[in-house]
Structure 1
Amino acid sequence: MTSIKPITKKIINTPETCVDDNLRGVVAVYPQLQLHPKHRVITIRRQDDSMRVAILGGGGSGHEPFASGFIGSGMLDGAVAGGVFASPPTGHVLYGIAQLHKYNSGGVLVIIGNYTGDRLNFGKAIEKAKIAGIKVEGLIVGEDVASSKNKTGGRSMVGEVLFYKLCGAMALKGYDLETIRKTAVEANKNMATLGVCLSACSLPGQPPLFEISPDEMELGAGVHGEAGIAKVKMGTAKEIVKMLLAIIVGHLKLSRGDRVAVTVDNLGGTSFLEMNIISAETKDYLENHDITVERVYAGHLKTSLEMHGFQICLLLLNKEHGDLFLELLDAPTSAAAWTGGEISVRSDGGHVDDESLLKGDVRKEASGPSLSAKQQDLLRESLTSAAEVLIKSEALLNKLDSGCGDGDCGNTLKKFGHAILAYLKTASLEYVSNVLWDLSEIAETDMGGTSGGIYSLGLSAASQAFSIAASNSVPTWLSALESAIQAISKYGGAEPGDRTMLDTLHAVAETLKRCIEEELLAVLKKAAEAAERGAKATASMIARAGRASYVASGYTQQEDAGARAAALWLQAILCSIASKI
């Protein structure tokens, strides 16, 4: 008989309001910061143009003080918070970019943690900001050794905080956007992190995410409550530090005489006593190997709620850039979580959103081929069929997603289906480019999460392809599909063969290329068959990107949920069109 794990106690109001309550607490303690509550954005209070580059960070909540605790002169200019362990939506990130650009004409550098949801949502916001004329660049960072063999590179761990410090110091010194970005890229090449935990954390209102035996530890645990890459026996502080540093030093290929800056990060539930012992053992180990420890930073930097554990991050201060890195790390900052300071001074100013920033729509004018009344009816029927099949397939998709994800793929796509049906009641379908753009916005606002980011990016890219097309034809739809695949791959990091929805889309695109000159009915039938093959093929694939790539292969024996979902709505659309021919 399976025992039910108890829900962990937390001192909050409700799980639903804990993120917003946390942000209210940040500005209560540090009134010199400005809260934009509707968008979960916190910024430095400014009234004039700094004339320099602004640094924007952020990501899921639950990692406090990351990221709002690092807002201050010499570090971040602003941060955007998502739900607990969830990427913030594109609209909130875009608001943060626009808010910072309003007071920092040198541009905005957005630091993006190397997670699929963040890459997609932050990436979409950057692209939309560029369309709106904002000077902005993104920087995807990640230094986790445990996941370093992943196709998209290691996950972003506590090293992300160091990028806030390095980039923020450069911005304050007046460096331009491109120079700051290039310097940070060099730092990322010379940084590595590895962690261990003794107990799992739990999301508000839920039990612990995984179990660890009393005599074991999780090696390589992530900051989102993910289990590690291996269970190892519990040891002393000296033994644990030795195990971690041996791996990190080997990964960075450090040798005698090298200099490093060390960060020892508390994952949330580790005592000060333990952290001090860990820091001492870390310094001793490195110096015993003739590696010079120039700096040690320790404390709560990027946590995982109440997880009992820690991470060690090493930044190699190499001959080319080491002195500059050290200078930037030593530069003064008023960010509270780094040192504290003047931003703790009381302020009576309120917290309001500047609603004028996001009123403009980057896609206003109708463009591309228009549809006849009959064609509009067919498009409406096809989209209705696609939406309905997503709603009906909720349980199936949740089941497929439960082995390697959150088990909520069906829930997410059901929301999308209902939103599409509501949209179709009043929407004009005269211009396909506008319809696809509207669906992109719906995916962003109504779906949320990684799936929302993927669909939003793909649909917006397809919209762009249609906006410059000469006719509503199979070649145009193929071009739109290929544009969607390219956009999803660019920011999601996946390619066909990586066990994602791209496998379904790619199979259909390749089939359309081969049979594009055939009779339409035959083309539709073959495309539907290709969608089925593409989804089924994922059952035997090794996940190399996305969330499924972080778990053992034993959890990915069935079809990928995203690939099956794509097959379902594609087949619904294709069959709906075929029935009218």
Structure 2
Amino acid sequence: MEGKPITKKIINSPETCVADNLRGVVATYPALQLHPKHRVVTVRRKTDSGRVAVLGGGGSGHEPFAGGLVGSGMLDGAVAGGVFASPPTGHVLYGIAQLYKYNSGGVIVIIGNYTGDRLNFGKAIEKAKISGIKVEGLIVGEDVASSKNKTGGRSMCGEVFFYKLCGAMADKGFDLKTMKDIAAEANKYMATLGVCLSACSLPGQPPLFEIARDEMELGAGVHGEAGIEKLKMGTAKEVVQMILDKVVAHLKLTAGNRVAVMIDNLGGTSFLEMNIIAAETKDYLESKQITVERIFSGHMKTSLEMHGFQICLLHLNKQHGDLWLELLDAPTNAVGWCGGAQSVKTEGGHGDDETLLQTHSRKLTTGPTLSAKEQEILRGSLQAAADELVKNEGLLNRLDSGCGDGDCGNTLKKFGLAIQSYLKTASAEYLSNVLWDLSEMAETDMGGTSGGIYSLGLSAASQTVANGKTNNVALWLEAWESAMQAITKYGGAEPGDRTMLDTLYPAAQVFKQNLSGDFKVLLKKTVEAAEKGAKATANMTAKAGRASYVASGYTQDEDAGARAAVIWLQAILNYIHNKY
């Protein structure tokens, strides 16, 4: 994109646009409450509702999703990340805690099926559970274009349907488990596909990709991603038919079926075009003798100024269709769904409840203490790992540039610098506390998907060590395995998917196989296995994470995440090898 002109936008700065956007939401609809430090928007409540609350959110740039969908009958709260970026775990946890404070029935968290959201929202849910909050998460996704991905289709505008279904169920007094079960069932009967005619651009940047004047992208995402195929432009009737042919086939719809339709404006499509699309959609479905019960058309989950649209169908099946339709028809005053009472001016300022995260922080658990020598080795090994991460910034950025956004080295360098600073003053008496502190640094200093992955793994390892009795290699292995399990649970990746697990998993296996042998041999063989595992990723097909959405021609070198894991793991094990 170098040399391309930056797209004009009416903002103050790229750095402040998310916060400025949220200020505008509550300026327009002062019935909503802004918690500015944590970028959370909620309904205003002073007493316990006794029911389940619904929390949504994700990256900014999709407005009105998700802050504009807060209101009775939809979301009780929404947490906003950066533009097209998942919000950090701490902000999500604040949102959960804030809602639970006034909704003792619990909190259901709707999670878009993207790696960053799965990781950051997932870790927040696990933290909230540890602190005693009644909370459940539901990962949703319905994109036809990415439906064959290992972790399932991406979350598109259908996520707004889940906000409506869950919000209505909450108002009707459904319990947490029932709400989750009904929404999960609806996910099986929902599918979305769309096209774009032009790309969007992030604030302060040029367009993300190019489309010829006579072409369109089929299967474009809501994060500015290009689609799965370039096609020649057609008439509205032809384009709608092409999309619905695929959606109807995906859902296996037949004559006599009933559907609810959502037509989502990706940001830059005119009302005139949207109305034509709605008419063609209705005509197409009726020509197939599929009953169109409802059409919801407008800006639901946009992609900044992208010129395009998506069509989502919800099959109102015989078993649950009447209930789903009743829930879609239930009243709401969320402005993104329809206007209403939230436009009325309400007195009162905005502020964060700073006691929430303290109240719901990790309960103190320590595990085995380390001797003076063990503390020295722990500090030294972490220092070695941090130094290597800082040193290899350029290498990791290069490896990441083919299939990612080229910032893996920058991200890991931030982590390395944070560790270096931490080691100057931190106590190393309890390994579990050190691991927990590292997980918090990964969340706050690294950020993004990598930060979420490392934070999840380190926090799981911390909990395992905290429950241990003796500091030994068996406990290390148990913590190692729990970290990988946590990463798999929320990241969706497994060994063989071309991720950091392809370094960690074979190394852990060798570690386990040599557990009862010579300690230095164990360390040496583990280092060798990690190196071999990382090199093997060069010949793997990415099945999870960002690289899985990219053509295989861009993934011909080692995976950056796998190489990063080698760098810090080898630094730690080599240091221990030299000191024992």
Cα contact 2:128–2:360 (8 A) shared by 1 = no
Look up the match of 1:16.
15
Alignment of 1:422-461 (within 5 A): 422-461=421-460
Look up the match of 2:468.
469
Instruction: Say yes or no: does 1:544 pair with 2:549.
Output: no
Q: What is the total number of aligned residue pairs between the two structures?
A: 580
Give the Cα separation in 1 of the matches to 2:409 and 2:237: 46
Look up the match of 2:372.
373
Alignment of 1:185-200 (within 5 A): 185-200=184-199
Instruction: Say yes or no: does 1:174 pair with 2:180.
Output: no
Cα contact 1:68–1:79 (8 A) shared by 2 = yes
Look up the match of 2:142.
143
Shift of 1:4: 2.1
Instruction: Say yes or no: does 1:561 pair with 2:540.
Output: no
Cα contact 2:119–2:449 (8 A) shared by 1 = yes
Query: Match of 2:195, SS?
Result: strand
Query: Match of 2:387, SS?
Result: helix
Give the Cα separation in 2 of the matches to 1:133 and 1:363: 10
Give the Cα separation in 1 of the matches to 2:578 and 2:360: 36
Give the Cα separation in 1 of the matches to 2:145 and 2:365: 48
Give the Cα separation in 2 of the matches to 1:133 and 1:472: 28
Give the Cα separation in 1 of the matches to 2:261 and 2:491: 31
Give the Cα separation in 2 of the matches to 1:363 and 1:328: 37
Opposite residue 34 of structure 1, the aligned amino acid is Q
Cα contact 1:99–1:357 (8 A) shared by 2 = yes
Alignment of 1:512-551 (within 5 A): 512-551=511-550
Query: Match of 1:397, SS?
Result: helix
Give the Cα separation in 2 of the matches to 1:361 and 1:165: 28
Give the Cα separation in 1 of the matches to 2:441 and 2:556: 32
Alignment of 1:317-466 (within 5 A): 317-360=316-359, 362-466=361-465
Query: Match of 2:529, SS?
Result: helix
Give the Cα separation in 2 of the matches to 1:293 and 1:566: 51
Opposite residue 183 of structure 1, the aligned amino acid is I
Give the Cα separation in 2 of the matches to 1:337 and 1:476: 50
Deviates more, 1:359-368 or 1:533-542: 359-368
Cα contact 1:217–1:234 (8 A) shared by 2 = yes
Query: Match of 1:469, SS?
Result: coil
Give the Cα separation in 2 of the matches to 1:66 and 1:287: 30
Alignment of 1:4-83 (within 5 A): 4-83=3-82
Give the Cα separation in 1 of the matches to 2:359 and 2:79: 21
Give the Cα separation in 2 of the matches to 1:568 and 1:223: 34
Cα contact 1:199–1:307 (8 A) shared by 2 = yes
Query: Match of 1:108, SS?
Result: strand
Query: Match of 2:71, SS?
Result: coil
Opposite residue 517 of structure 1, the aligned amino acid is S
Give the Cα separation in 2 of the matches to 1:154 and 1:460: 28
Q: Is the alpha carbon distance of 1:365 and 1:339 closer, same or farther for their aligned partners in structure 2, counting shifts above 3 Å? A: closer
Opposite residue 79 of structure 2, the aligned amino acid is V
Cα contact 1:366–1:431 (8 A) shared by 2 = no
Shift of 1:370: 1.1
Query: Match of 2:152, SS?
Result: coil
Instruction: Say yes or no: does 1:260 pair with 2:222.
Output: no
Shift of 1:470: 2.2
Q: Percent identity?
A: 76
Cα contact 1:192–1:251 (8 A) shared by 2 = yes
Look up the match of 1:109.
108
Give the Cα separation in 2 of the matches to 1:521 and 1:573: 13
Shift of 1:363: 3.6
Q: Deviations over 1:229-280 (max 9, x none)?
A: 1111111101100000000000000000100000000000000010001110
Cα contact 2:392–2:409 (8 A) shared by 1 = yes
Look up the match of 1:575.
574
Opposite residue 525 of structure 1, the aligned amino acid is K
Cα contact 1:256–1:290 (8 A) shared by 2 = yes
Opposite residue 181 of structure 2, the aligned amino acid is K
Cα contact 1:376–1:430 (8 A) shared by 2 = yes
Give the Cα separation in 2 of the matches to 1:29 and 1:509: 54
Instruction: Say yes or no: does 1:288 pair with 2:284.
Output: no
Opposite residue 79 of structure 1, the aligned amino acid is A
Query: Match of 1:265, SS?
Result: strand
Look up the match of 2:118.
119
Look up the match of 2:510.
511
Q: Deviations over 1:369-404 (max 9, x none)?
A: 211111111110100000011111111111111111
Instruction: Say yes or no: does 1:134 pair with 2:133.
Output: yes
Opposite residue 219 of structure 2, the aligned amino acid is G
Give the Cα separation in 1 of the matches to 2:213 and 2:340: 41
Look up the match of 2:490.
491
Shift of 1:367: 2.2
Q: After TM superposition, where is structure 1 displaced by more than 6 Å over at least 4 residues in a row?
A: none
Shift of 1:471: 1.6
Q: Deviations over 1:55-114 (max 9, x none)?
A: 000000000000011111100000000000000000000000000000111100000000
Give the Cα separation in 1 of the matches to 2:363 and 2:488: 27
Give the Cα separation in 2 of the matches to 1:383 and 1:12: 42
Give the Cα separation in 2 of the matches to 1:14 and 1:354: 28
Look up the match of 1:98.
97
Q: Is the alpha carbon distance of 1:559 and 1:105 closer, same or farther for their aligned partners in structure 2, counting shifts above 3 Å? A: same
Cα contact 2:97–2:360 (8 A) shared by 1 = no
Give the Cα separation in 1 of the matches to 2:321 and 2:348: 41
Give the Cα separation in 2 of the matches to 1:418 and 1:3: 29
Give the Cα separation in 2 of the matches to 1:344 and 1:366: 47
Cα contact 2:131–2:362 (8 A) shared by 1 = no
Cα contact 1:66–1:303 (8 A) shared by 2 = yes
Cα contact 2:107–2:136 (8 A) shared by 1 = yes
Cα contact 2:130–2:362 (8 A) shared by 1 = no
Instruction: Tell me the TM-score normalised to structure 2 length.
Output: 0.99
Shift of 1:474: 1.4
Cα contact 1:73–1:168 (8 A) shared by 2 = yes
Look up the match of 2:499.
500
Cα contact 2:96–2:107 (8 A) shared by 1 = yes
Cα contact 1:144–1:154 (8 A) shared by 2 = yes
Give the Cα separation in 2 of the matches to 1:545 and 1:64: 27
Shift of 1:361: 6.2
Query: Match of 1:57, SS?
Result: strand
Shift of 1:364: 4.8
Query: Match of 1:359, SS?
Result: helix
Opposite residue 330 of structure 2, the aligned amino acid is A
Cα contact 1:42–1:80 (8 A) shared by 2 = yes
Opposite residue 491 of structure 1, the aligned amino acid is Y
Give the Cα separation in 2 of the matches to 1:219 and 1:363: 45
Query: Match of 1:387, SS?
Result: helix
Give the Cα separation in 1 of the matches to 2:2 and 2:362: 54
Opposite residue 82 of structure 2, the aligned amino acid is G
Cα contact 2:127–2:362 (8 A) shared by 1 = no
Cα contact 1:57–1:67 (8 A) shared by 2 = yes
Shift of 1:365: 3.2
Cα contact 2:54–2:110 (8 A) shared by 1 = yes
Give the Cα separation in 2 of the matches to 1:189 and 1:306: 30
Q: Deviations over 1:394-443 (max 9, x none)?
A: 11111111111111111111110011111111111011111111101111
Give the Cα separation in 2 of the matches to 1:172 and 1:523: 58
Look up the match of 1:157.
156
Cα contact 2:497–2:543 (8 A) shared by 1 = yes
Shift of 1:514: 1.3
Query: Match of 1:579, SS?
Result: helix
